Amino acid sequence: MHIRRTVLGGCLHLSNIFGPVPSRRLGRSLGLDITPYKTCTFDCVYCQIGRTTNKTVQRMDYIPKNLVLSELKDFLDMEEDIDYITFSGSGEPTLHSGIGEMINDIKSMTDIPVAVLTNGSLLLREDVRKDLLSADVVLPSLDAASESVFHAVNRPHESLGIREIIDGLRVFRKVFENELWLEIMFVKGMNDWIDEITALSDAVCEIDPDRIQLNTVVRPPCEDVEPVDEDGMIRICREFGGDAEIIAEQRIEVHPEILPLLQRRPLTIEEISESLGIHRNEVVKHLRGLKEGGKIVETVHAGKRYLGVKM
């Protein structure tokens, strides 16, 4: 199997590793992408990389463990300064049946702490909970406490229910001895009304995370959803008491080669990623800055999203 290895902008780019990238919660984070693109248990309305194309709850050895660990070793040999090694990427990492073994192998390889970003949907399973026990930080999300809002915001796999997910988070908290940081993403008009906020606050009390981190939609997501404004987020934060914090996106420096590339012709995210050797998640962040600056526009042709320079 060919593994792309390039160095751009001081970052090493491998097929299953991206970054390190600045993270609002984890500092300089080296990402591990261990599931195929858009393979997830959810299809969230606010996802920045588009609709889920493989919605599943089936755990598999999606990407060979040894390949991921080999790439990681290559990176660590460069002695880069990073704060966390983070399982994240463009799908749900707990869908990988080998994530537990990978965490343990990484812990034996380096002292750099390991984090897992997850939507929390599979923590209702004992095997998944066991797999994450060696992580230093687990960062699950919980965007709803009622079934109707859960289906509206997260559009889950048909087998998943929000009560079971909350129970899974609660049980995991009891057996997990390290840091649990719970993120709640608020979407204007969908889960920011008082009854849902109260239900979420009650669920958070059940789970008892170490940190409660409140967020809202970053412009522009792939779908027509809106962020909660600053006053609204402050109001919501008060409902969760003194332990909650509002987290904000860091400003992302735009990659200097993206705009010249798009001046030639419109491209998809995947084409930009392949052309520049940048992971798709990084491309999305760079495009966000260009969109906010009014420099690029998005069009849809034959079911594909293309980005081009605004004339």
CATH code of the domain in which 201 resides: 3.20.20.70
Q: Residue 266: inside a domain, yes or no? A: yes
**Domain ends where: 218, 250, 282?**
250
Q: What is the mean pLDDT of residues 222-249?
A: 87
Strands (E), the chain: 6-8, 11-13, 17-23, 27-32, 39-40, 54-55, 84-87, 114-118, 137-140, 179-186, 211-216, 244-246, 296-301, 304-309
CATH number at residue 302: 1.10.10.10
State the Cα–Cα distance between residues 185 and 47, nearest whole angstrom: 11
Q: Is residue 64 part of a domain?
A: yes
* Structure confidence by residue, pLDDT tens digits, 179-227: 999 999 999 999 999 999 999 999 999 999 999 999 998 755 567 789 9
Measure the CA–CA gap between 53 and 36, rounded to whole angstroms. 10
- Same domain for 22 and 124, yes or no, is yes
Is 1 among the domain residues?
no
- CA–CA separation, 119 vs 132, rounded Å? 13
Q: Is 30 in the same domain as 119?
A: yes
Q: Do 212 and 309 reside in the same domain of the chain?
A: no
pLDDT for position 19: 79
The strand pair at 296-301 and 6-8 is best described as unpaired
- The verdict on 259 and 120 lying in the same domain is no
* 183 and 266 housed in the same domain: no
Does 256 lie in the same domain as 239?
no
Q: Residue 16: inside a domain, yes or no?
A: yes
Residue 231 lies in a domain: yes
Tell whether pTM > 0.85.
Answer: no
For residue 105, give its domain range.
Answer: 6-250
Q: What are phi and psi of 53, to 5 degrees?
A: -100, -20
Report d(CA 212, CA 188) in Å as an integer. Answer: 19
What average pLDDT is seen over the chain? 87
Give the count of beta carbons closer than 10 Å to the beta carbon of residue 3: 12
Overall domain count for the chain: 2
Mark whether 178 and 53 lie in a shared domain.
yes
Statement to judge: residues 245 and 271 lie in one domain:
no
As a whole number, mean pLDDT of residues 64-78 equals 91
159/284 same-domain check: no
Quick check: 23 pLDDT over 90? no
A 10 A CB-CB count for 285 gives 20
Q: Which two tokens mark 310? A: 């605004």
Does 262 lie in the same domain as 235?
no
Please give the average per-residue pLDDT across 104-132, as a whole number.
Answer: 98
Asked whether residue 7 carries a pLDDT value surpassing 70, the answer given is no
